[in-house]
Amino acid sequence: MKHVGRYDPQHAPDPEAWLALDEAERIELVLQYHRRTRVKLPNARLHATIHVVVENQVALGDEIPVRRTLERLRAEGLDRHDAVHAAGSQPATRTSRTGPSWRALLRRAGSVAAEAPMDVLGLDHVDLTVSELARSIPFYEKVLGALGFRRVPHATYVAWANAHLAIVLRPAERDAVFDRYRVGLHHLALRVRSRDEVDRFHELLVREGITVLDPPAEYPEYGPQYYAVFFADPDGMKLEVVHFPWGYWRKVQSEGRDERPRYAPK
């Protein structure tokens, strides 16, 4: 049996040797890795514990589907370290061979939220400050209307919404030129379901004479199959329409639904 002397999340530890360690030894090996690589974490022990939970289940092979989950995530472009993080966001229940349950391990590591994790469902709304409402309202009516948003009547602000997000315009209180490299908003990206929708939206931009910053293209530096067009609003704010299906939510992002359960059964 091999001895696990060092941990590297880019390479799976020998299953038999890993499972032969006790939980404290496994956690310490992960802590040593993060100290070696000088990764600063708000709760290093909690982070290491999540690594251990995932590696425990990978070591069990096909008894628990985490190994196949890592393989799928890596096929989608994640390296093994990032895939461990993604798998750790929804860990399965324990088996007796891996030791304590993941909830027990997280409690030991100081995670109060482990008992009742909160889950952000999405972005609720974004407020954009514009220099001239009279100039910006027709622009956003055209752009957001083409993307399926509808104007929301309201007494105090101007807004458009769909089933997922509201975008609000507010008048600026002082003159300023937009600079996305100052503190605040850099750019706003809106996701669509297909590359074809990105292309069709670009056609609308050209047809309406809207400033196109970058025409539709793939951006592998942002992720596998990342396809986007960038454009500007009347104040020069950078906006983006992107197709980027990834991870667990791939089918939801592309097809609007996924028949699989969101979480592993408890």
- DSSP 3-state helix, strand, coil percentages of the chain (rounded to 5)? 40, 15, 45
pLDDT at 64: 56
- Mean pLDDT of all residues in 94-113: 50
- Mean pLDDT of all residues in 182-206: 94
pLDDT for 174 beyond 90: no
The residue segments making up the domain with residue 211 are 125-252
CATH code of residue 166:
3.10.180.10
Name the 3-class secondary structure at 217: strand
Q: Are residues 54 and 90 in the same domain?
A: yes
Q: What is the mean pLDDT of the chain?
A: 80
Q: Are residues 103 and 167 in the same domain?
A: no
Q: How far apart are CA 27 and CA 22, in angstroms?
A: 9
Q: How far apart are CA 188 and CA 82, in angstroms?
A: 25
Q: Structurally, how many domains does the chain consist of?
A: 2
Q: The pTM is what?
A: 0.54
Q: Are residues 77 and 130 in the same domain?
A: no
pLDDT for 208 beyond 60: yes
Cα separations in angstroms, 153 against 106, 126, 157, 158, 189: 46, 16, 8, 7, 24
Q: Is the CB of residue 9 less than 8 Å from the CB of residue 87?
A: no
pLDDT band (50, 70, 90) for residue 228: very high
- Mean pLDDT of all residues in 148-163: 89
pLDDT at 207: 95
